[in-house]
Amino acid sequence: DAEITQSPRHKITETGRQVTLACHQTWNHNNMFWYRQDLGHGLRLIHYSYGVHDTNKGEVSDGYSVSRSNTEDLPLTLESAASSQTSVYFCASSEGRGPSDTQYFGPGTRLTVL
């Protein structure tokens, strides 16, 4: 069955370190997204991609970067981790880019920055 996976599921790192969170989907979806989830804020969009080599900034992109070298993967990199980036991170993908195209979410990565 097609799916979307994230790794690692849990990560503890130190302030200033570079961290990369992986997202892999087997639906062959063109569109992929990264969100962070914090108490009281719901889900906020970090970056999104509409296809290979395409990336776009979301609402809270500062301190994060993504690159899309193939259809299946959209890794999220924290260039220099900060305590404010402690959060749960969700990756999602969709076939189309409109509101009628369901976004499928991964299980999430819980990141703690000490």
Partner 1 sequence: GQQLNQSPQSMFIQEGEDVSMNCTSSSIFNTWLWYKQDPGEGPVLLIALYKAGELTSNGRLTAQFGITRKDSFLNISASIPSDVGIYFCAGFMTTDSWGKLQFGAGTQVVVTP
Residues that bind partner 1 (CB under 8 A): 31, 33, 40-45, 48, 56, 58-59, 90, 92, 94, 97-100, 102-103, 105-108
The pair of structure tokens assigned to 37 is: 């989830």
Give whichever of 14 and 35 is closer to partner 1, judged by the CB atom. Answer: 35
Give the residue from 27, 14, 16, 19 showing the smallest Cα distance to 71. 27
Q: How far apart are CA 111 and CA 64, in angstroms?
A: 13
Give whichever of 58 and 63 is closer to partner 1, judged by the CB atom. Answer: 58
Give whichever of 7 and 18 is closer to partner 1, judged by the CB atom. Answer: 7
Q: Could you tell me if 46 and 39 are in contact, meaning their C-beta atoms sit under 8 angstroms apart?
A: no
* Beta-ladder partners of 13: 113
Distance of CA 18 to the CA centre of its chain: 15
Query: Closest separation between CB of residue 43 and partner 1, Å?
Result: 4
Query: Closest separation between CB of residue 113 and partner 1, Å?
Result: 20
Query: Closest separation between CB of residue 82 and partner 1, Å?
Result: 20
Give whichever of 53 and 97 is closer to partner 1, judged by the CB atom. Answer: 97
Rounded to 5°, the CA angle 55-60-65 comes to 40
